[in-house]
Amino acid sequence: MPKYKLFSALFSLLLLSLAFSNASASVMMLGTRIVYPSDVKEKSLVFTNTGGDPVLVQVWTDINNPDSTAETADAPFIVMPPIFRINPTVKHSLRLKFTGADLPQDRESLFWLNFLQYPAKKATDKDKNSLIVMIKSRVKIFYRPSGLKGNANNSLDDVQVSLQGKTIDVKNMSPWHISIVNAFIEDGQRKTPVKTTGIIKPYSAAQWVAPSGTGKKLIINAINDYGGVFSKTYALVH
């Protein structure tokens, strides 16, 4: 490839990366997660455009693929409408509907909702060269069968913690997904961060590496159904 073409390609990639790093989403969904009870026909989702320009939004769902597109959507949900225009300062409601699938009835199932924002191009800029930045956001969908015992907002009460050598074994004995914010080892007045695994699935375990000089208490912070943070402190014993 000639040097000037290589430079041009690299420069274009740099501009694109800068555009994405400086871009901010103007369309926001109400809430940080979606809880879909199995006994409802559909769930209403509310979006708001906080920006100053109209935006075109495309919505789809997937099982667990951060690179999914509307064409590869594979979760058992449909969104109506899948594409909509939202004007500045306006709210727009969508309907999320479960289409049916053979899912476990003794625990939650996790899916993802994606929404891609296409910013409108101003009429005054129609003849100008410009870079259109599309912003993709992902939100968890928790499909929750009816009849599950306990309370998802108290799920940390059903976690068992033990220290196995240099490994902290964290067992989730509940039917809920636990979304970990962070965790710390407490040793007197000192708190040492622990590298966590993000989400602990129902009836499963995670293994975290214990930092050096481990104390006798483990503090876990997680997210509840309302997007707030709740905590639990555990004795860290062998």
Structural contact between residues 218 and 183, judged by C-beta atoms closer than 8 angstroms: yes
Which CATH number among 2.70.150.10, 2.60.40.10, 3.40.50.300, 2.60.40.420 corresponds to the domain 152-235? 2.60.40.10
pTM of the full structure: 0.84
Q: What does the pLDDT look like over 129-139, one tens digit per residue?
A: 555 678 999 99
User: Which superfamily, per CATH, for 28-144?
Assistant: Immunoglobulins (2.60.40.10)
Q: What does the pLDDT look like over 7-48, one tens digit per residue?
A: 344 434 433 433 333 345 789 999 999 999 999 999 999 999
3-state secondary structure of 109: strand
Question: Strand pairing of 204-209 and 167-172?
Answer: antiparallel
